[in-house]
Amino acid sequence: MQTLTRITSAGSASTAVAFGPARVGFGLFLPQFREAFSISTATAGLISSLGFAAFLLALGASYKLIARAGPRVPIVCGMIAATAGLAAVAAAPNAMVLAIGTCLASASAGFSWTPFNNAAQRVLYDRDRPGALSVISSGTAVGVLLAGLLSLSLVFFGYGWRAVWTVFATGAAVAALANLLALTDTVAPAGEAPARTWGELVARSAIPLYLVAFSFGVTNGIYITFAADRVSEQGGLPGLPSQASGAVVFAAYGALGLLGLLTARIKSAIGLSRLLRCLNVGAALSIAIIAWAPTSWSAVIVSAGLQGLFVMMISAVLSLWSERLFPDLPSLSFTAALLITGAGNIAGPMVGGMASTAFGPVTMFAGTAAIALATAVVLRPRAIRERASNQAYA
């Protein structure tokens, strides 16, 4: 198998698991978890935020592992964490085990995404890297789509949600083995990577990158945690049981997210700043729709599709943009962007859950949409750079 095909296939499988069921599974099945474990909205927000915190911690561990042993080790560790976490949720007897499993599963994304920037830098030609990173990032869409379809199948075949999570865990175990075998030529001897400092990433030209990353973390963290629950609580979509309606959200989210494969081409055609502003406006519209029209088939599909497109394209943009800003620090710069995304992920669902309890879900979603819209407004074209400036802040 050619190196490009091998790397992109392994990366797509890894991100499909880590950013599919391991990341969105909690929000996708929140209606079922509410029924099984008597979870409140505030508790749901806390569990989701704890999962994102595990993602954040895993990011730091992943960077250390890359420096010591190359990208294969953290990727395989991530898939093992996903397997253990998804299996724990499948067998969870109470909310505590559910939370632990959610955290382990969420950690897989932190372990296994950034190493592919490093792997691509090592073994792929410059001309192949942008397309490969877009394909790897868009594996998320496949994972979310399959998770949504499996959730929807509960309605037609009558088996329980635990069976679906067992399938998720099995898929993660297969992805662990596949990456173990596929990434043999990316292993680095201990001490190969030079010591670098985080201060090298503190540059004026990187501020828009970090702003986009944090806004993305907040808004998408809230959406994937509460969107399906919003549809379910309002009675669901006509013709479907209320608890099954959330599956439509994530199926559409994943299906439209496959357009993330076109990120590199669209960026080349319209430019980075215009792409970023369009994506954030789309995200704001997506969140507003789920707030005000959660029981309309067309509105929910448009909302989920816009959010899926936003996530897949922003994910690819963060990967491509961080590498272009700091070509000598592909993993460290991407890790920094995702750490900031993770901080937004932690803050978003926790604050969103409390805001929903205090002011209602419509107000909470409206405030979230305003964050995405404000991000689009402040992203001035002259501030967007794809090369780091020499000026750094002390």
pLDDT given for residue 393 in this prediction:
40
195 found inside a domain: no
pLDDT given for residue 325 in this prediction:
86
The CATH number of whichever domain residue 141 belongs to comes to: 1.20.1250.20
388 found inside a domain: no
85 found inside a domain: yes
Question: Residue 60: which domain range?
Answer: 3-190+201-383
3-state secondary structure of 203: strand
**What amino acid occupies position 26?**
F
13 found inside a domain: yes
Cα-Cα-Cα-Cα torsion 307, 330, 277, 297, nearest 10 degrees, comes to: -10
pLDDT tens by residue, 217-245: 999 999 998 998 899 889 889 988 877 78
Question: Which residues lie below 8 Å from residue 194, measured CB to CB, with a gap of 6+?
Answer: none
392 found inside a domain: no
18 found inside a domain: yes
Using alpha carbons, list the distances in angstroms from residue 362 to 225, 260, 304, 346: 15, 29, 17, 21
pLDDT tens by residue, 337-346: 888 998 998 8
pLDDT tens by residue, 67-111: 788 888 999 999 999 999 999 999 999 999 999 999 999 999 989
- Please check the confidence at residue 135 and state whether its pLDDT lies above 80: no
- Please check the confidence at residue 166 and state whether its pLDDT lies above 80: yes
Q: What gap in Å lies between CA 23 and CA 8, rounded to an integer?
A: 20
- Please check the confidence at residue 311 and state whether its pLDDT lies above 50: yes
Number of domains in the chain: 1
**What amino acid occupies position 120?**
A
For the chain, strand residue ranges (E) read none
Q: Does the reported pTM lie above 0.85?
A: no
* Averaged pLDDT for residues 34-57: 91
Q: What gap in Å lies between CA 173 and CA 105, rounded to an integer?
A: 12
Q: Are 221 and 310 a contacting pair, CB within 8 Å?
A: no
Query: Which of 90-99, 121-130, 205-214, 259-268 bottoms out in mean pLDDT, i.e. has the lowest?
Result: 121-130
47 found inside a domain: yes
Residue with tokens 């419509």: 362
> Which helix (H) or strand (E) segment is 333 a member of?
helix 330-359
390 found inside a domain: no
